[in-house]
Amino acid sequence: MSFLIAFLAFSALIVLHEAGHFVAAKAVGMRVERFFLFFPPKLVSVKRGETEYGIGAIPLGGFVRITGMHPDEELPPEVAARGYYHQPVWKRIVVIGAGPAVNIVIAFLILWVLAFGIQQPSQDVEQIQPGSPAAAKLQAGDRIVSVDGVRGDQEKIADQIASHRCPGEQTNGCEAAKPASVVVMRGGQEKTLQITPVYDASVDRSRLGFAFGLEDANPGPLEAARISVDYMWFVTHSTISALSRLYEKQQRDQLSGVVGSYEVTRQAVDVGAREALTLIALISLSLGIINLFPFLPLDGGHIFWSIVEKLRGRPVPFAVMERAGLIGFALVIGLFLLGLNNDIGRLTGEGFNVR
């Protein structure tokens, strides 16, 4: 079942991406000849009006064929005015940008919905390490009010505990010179506990030996939107940073392709719906981001050359775009093959380790 769900999820992202191009093209008056899921050879199709809708045999994407996508193409007079290169630059940019835009919007909406169910660090003690200083004084469920009068989030509390140092050299297991004054809420009453931190060399700081729990964040619609946008920005920055450092072997080894994305999605489905939806949102976002890179045949390449045409005031010779397209195509194929090679290595080796 997870194979089918992952396949349907990928197919939906492709269809919605191409639907963005399709709807935008229709909206600005362009003539759409074909709207296909997957690439030829054609398996099945049906024609409705001037557009042929179909499914191809190679499940690596999809496409929308708009009349006149080749600038030197001879078009019949009755359809020439609706050809792609007969349209103003702004219309072409809208049509090409609509595909990635749909993927980015899908990612935002999924993450926005998921944000309503996120959890945030609480001030409640959840786990206590046996034999630690906390084990003799704290209880699971205690709510930390302050440490040495310092209130705040988990980081502030941890930093205050870490400020207690052992006398002399800091060695693993040494006790701090002074105990920490820990105020907790227990059973509706505040209690002040004196607990002496112990230095932990593995994390290079003093600790009491307990872990905080989590609680529901319960964000409002605007806060959920902010959380979604922040996460999307983090993923975007990380994606661009990783691709810009592909000259590093470590970054090349981490690259994944279609096979890897599909397998990770399938495994995420087995883990749970929330994990699967998060991964689908990230794949949709990545699809939108990468498609905006300014290299033909990517959508960003078409947008780039449309902007160049607008700035220079006349069309760019097709020969120039064709040469640039060959370079872009080589880059895209190179990334695809690198990702596929890594995916095969993981499938035949240690796997993808989603859990």
Q: 59-77 pLDDT, tens per residue? A: 877 899 999 888 777 888 8
Q: Which one has a higher pLDDT value, 59 or 191? A: 191
pLDDT value of residue 349: 52
Q: Report whether 192 contacts 183 (CB < 8 A).
A: yes
Task: Decide which of 240 and 126 is more confident.
Answer: 126
Average pLDDT (259-275) is 63
Q: Of the given ranges (155-164, 249-258, 280-289), which has the lowest mean pLDDT?
A: 249-258
Which of 50-54, 181-185, 240-244 bottoms out in mean pLDDT, i.e. has the lowest? 240-244
Given a cut of 90, whether residue 256 has pLDDT beyond it is no
pLDDT at 95: 96
Buried b (16+ CB within 10 A) or exposed e, 297-327: ebbbbbbbbbeebeeeeeeeeeeebeebbee
Give the pLDDT of residue 25: 95
Query: Which carries the bigger pLDDT value, residue 274 or residue 349?
Result: 274
What's the predicted TM-score (pTM) here? 0.76
Least confident segment among 142-146, 258-262, 278-282: 258-262
Element at 124 (helix H, strand E):
strand 119-128
**Span 119-216 CATH architecture:** Roll (2.30)
The position carrying tokens 């690439």 is 39
Percent of the chain residues topping a pLDDT of 70:
85
Q: What is the pLDDT of residue 43?
A: 92
The percent of residues above 90 in pLDDT, for the chain, comes to 50
Residue-level pLDDT at 253: 62
User: What's the whole-number average pLDDT of the chain?
Assistant: 85
Q: What is the pLDDT of residues 315-338, one digit of tens each?
A: 888 888 888 888 877 877 777 666
Residue 282: the pLDDT is 86
Q: Based on C-alpha coordinates, what's the Rg of the chain? A: 28
Sign of CA dihedral 218, 222, 225, 231: negative
Helix ranges, the chain (H): 2-27, 77-80, 89-115, 154-162, 221-244, 249-254, 258-271, 273-291, 299-312, 318-348
Residue 262, pLDDT above cutoff 70:
no
Place 263 in a pLDDT band, splitting at 50, 70 and 90. low
pLDDT score of 352 more than 50 = no
* Amino acid identity, position 166: C
Greatest C-alpha distance within the chain: 90
Q: What band does 175 get if pLDDT is binned at 50, 70 and 90? A: very high
Extract the tokens encoding 35: 């709207």
Q: Which residue has the higher pLDDT, 247 or 262?
A: 247
Domain with CATH 2.30.42.10 in the chain: 119-216
Q: Would you state the pLDDT for residue 229?
A: 95
Query: Quick one: pLDDT at residue 354?
Result: 47
